[in-house]
Amino acid sequence: MVKRLSLFLTCRDSLIHIPHSPASTFKILNALIALETGVIEDTNEVIKWDGVNPAWDKWNQDQTLATGMKYSALWAFRA
């Protein structure tokens, strides 16, 4: 059931009270923090791949912030 409340649209109200993993949304925050603090200079700075073979071929290479977001390369956003 979909219910419109003011500016918010909710679906399955019972689910809003259950904690959920942030999943890939944490990459947005980590990217902004890295840029703001100068850990990464810009979206084209290369993040070196550690050689560990992750799940997808697109992850098995150096990434930039832009390609890390594009391919959802989880390893590039870990500390």
Predicted TM-score of the model (pTM)? 0.68
> What are the pLDDT digits (tens) for 20-68?
788 888 899 999 999 999 999 999 999 999 888 777 889 999 999 999 9
Choose between 5 and 29: higher pLDDT: 29
The per-residue DSSP string of 33-69 comes to HHHHHTSSSSTT-EE---S---SSGGGSS-EEHHHHH
Catalytic (active-site) positions = 24
